Amino acid sequence: MARRRLRLRKPRGTGENIAAAVVALAAMTLLFQMALAAQSAVVRGWPFLLILAAGGLIYGLWRLFRSARARRARSDMLARLRITLADIDAMNDKEFEIALRDLLIRDGWSARRVGGKGDQAADVIGDHPQRGRIVVQAKHTRVGGKVGSSVMYAVKGTAGPVHRADHAVVVTNGAFTRDAMAWGDRHGVHWADREKLQRWAENGTALHELLKVSARSRPNRFRRAA
């Protein structure tokens, strides 16, 4: 059985018109009284509202100040950051990637960790106002472990087309095979082995100085390959 819809009909006759007018007047009177009551409440309560607004403003300023102080403290800490090879060897893969991100930040790059499943051969990406974008592939291994050429192929294949990078580097706490180093040098993929990592992380040499990373204005094979 279909449900009947309720429909409003226009008042019929003088009596219904008068009743409708009375209801409308009562509604308007009620709204007017509510508005007056609200205005009166505001007038009576303005000191409390003023205190509440001032408290909110002070709290907001305090949060901004605390956030700025925390950023400044972290910036100061990163500026002095030194990580020993012993500490790096004791890290897991994720901790190693975070350490490389912090080292890039120390060197003046705006860096973020992107490593994880489906990272497409990029664990850390850093941006620099003069040097452009760098992609870092981190290979944490046991001491004496070696990174092969396949890692170089993967980094070269995604640095430009996927990540829009100007530079790419593979970093390990171990070593590289001879073929990997030669292939990287030939195709513009930088590499940082244990010795270079120590100079970067422990001695404080900036990565772009260590690898002689060029300015973005110079022609770049990764951009051309994109």
Q: What is the pLDDT of residues 7-21, one digit of tens each?
A: 556 666 677 677 777
- What is the pLDDT of the chain when averaged over all its residues? 83
80-111 tens-digit pLDDT: 789 999 999 999 999 999 999 999 999 999 99
Residues 6+ apart with CB under 8 A from 34: none
Distance CA(37)–CA(193), nearest Å, equals 76
Average pLDDT over residues 210-219: 71
pLDDT of residue 223: 55
| Rounded CA Rg of the chain | 33
Exposed (0-12), middle (13-18) or buried (19+): which is 188, by Cβ within 10 Å? Answer: middle
Tell me: pLDDT of 55 over 70. Answer: yes
- Amino acid 166: pLDDT: 94
Helix (H) or strand (E) holding 135: strand 132-139
**Domain boundaries of the chain, sorted by first residue:** 15-80, 85-225
Q: 85-225, what's its fold? A: Trna Endonuclease; Chain: A, domain 1 (3.40.1350)
Strand partners, 133: 127
Nearest residue to 192 via CA among 126, 108, 136: 136
